[in-house]
Amino acid sequence: MKERSRKTGRQILITAIGLAVVLGCLGTSLASAGDVPKRLKREMAFMEDLLSDVLVESPYWLVSSGGPTSAFYLDGFGVILNMQASLVGGSRNFDFGGIKIFGRRLSSHVWDWDDDDDYYYDDDDEDEDEDWDEDKAYSRWSKRRRARAEKCYTRGKEELQEYLLECGDLVEQLGDNDWVAITARLKDHRYFRKIKTSHLMIRAKAGDLRNYASGGMDDDQMMDRMEIEEY
């Protein structure tokens, strides 16, 4: 049963992202179809703009500036908010001073940090020349880089879930069983290639989102009812 559920979710994801890509190439979207109510179009436009703002300002997702999100309505499914994204680079505030990274020491002072970690290297250590091992140094650096990317991706998904939590008041025109889904094409980052993941979908029922917005569920309950599909 679980395997069938995973296959069904993946088929929906492939269909949703496939439609988003085709519509994007055509420069149009189902949201402009005449049978979509005007109020729903307005809700979709607001959700699209709001998610675009979240992504542009995000410390985790790397997207094109402007309007990186495309929203459209799929009859029988709901609203799909489609995007293409990478992760913010794992290295910040480096000062290599023109010295090769792994051919020799990095530089006299190198800082690399994220929200919780602080790494500091100082080549004034008098024992460094004797202990230097390029392979071990690269291995340590590679593990830290992957750990940062994994944390960035995890927090990026949480940010998208938090966005969905705010959509309860924006989906008045959808039925209770309609989905509000974020579909993402993940690209241009070695972490995604490493974990063999290129597509992400996070979705929630419109009825659940409205129930949460009215106080019928707490954060944990609503988060548990969201579905995440990755492949």
The closest of 57, 76, 74, 75 to 66, measured between CA atoms, is 57
More confident residue, 184 or 65: 184
Per residue in 43-55, pLDDT (tens digit) is: 999 999 999 999 9
> CA-CA distance, 74 to 82, in Å (whole number)?
12
Q: Has residue 230 got a pLDDT over 80?
A: yes
Reduced to 3 states, what is the DSSP secondary structure of residue 204?
strand
Query: For position 36, what pLDDT does the model report?
Result: 86
In this structure, what are the phi and psi dihedrals at residue 18, rounded to the nearest 5 degrees? -60, -45
Token representation of residue 193: 């290639």
More confident residue, 204 or 67: 204
> CA-CA distance, 80 to 73, in Å (whole number)?
6
- Taking a C-beta distance cutoff of 8 angstroms, is the pair 71, 80 a contact? yes
Query: For position 50, what pLDDT does the model report?
Result: 95
The closest of 190, 187, 158, 182 to 63, measured between CA atoms, is 187
- What is Dmax (Cα atoms) for the chain? 74
Average pLDDT estimate for 29-36: 55
Query: For position 106, what pLDDT does the model report?
Result: 38
Q: Has residue 200 got a pLDDT over 80?
A: yes
Residues 6+ apart with CB under 8 A from 180: 47, 78, 79, 81, 164, 167, 171, 174, 203, 204, 205, 206, 209
| CB contact burial 102-132 (16+ within 10 A = b; e otherwise) | eeebbbeebebebeeeeeeeebeeeeeeeee
Query: For position 86, what pLDDT does the model report?
Result: 95
Angle between helix axes 134-165 and 206-213 (nearest 10 degrees) is 80
Average pLDDT estimate for 18-26: 47
Q: Where are the beta strands (DSSP E) in the chain?
A: 61-62, 69-74, 78-87, 109-113, 118-122, 179-186, 199-205, 227-230
> CA-CA distance, 44 to 80, in Å (whole number)?
9
Q: Kindly give the pairing relationship between strand 199-205 and strand 69-74.
A: unpaired
User: Distance of CA 14 to CAs 9, 126, 147, 193, Å?
Assistant: 9, 56, 28, 18
Query: For position 92, what pLDDT does the model report?
Result: 41
Token representation of residue 104: 């020799």
Assign 178 a pLDDT band (cuts: 50, 70, 90): very high
Chain length of the chain: 231
More confident residue, 142 or 168: 168
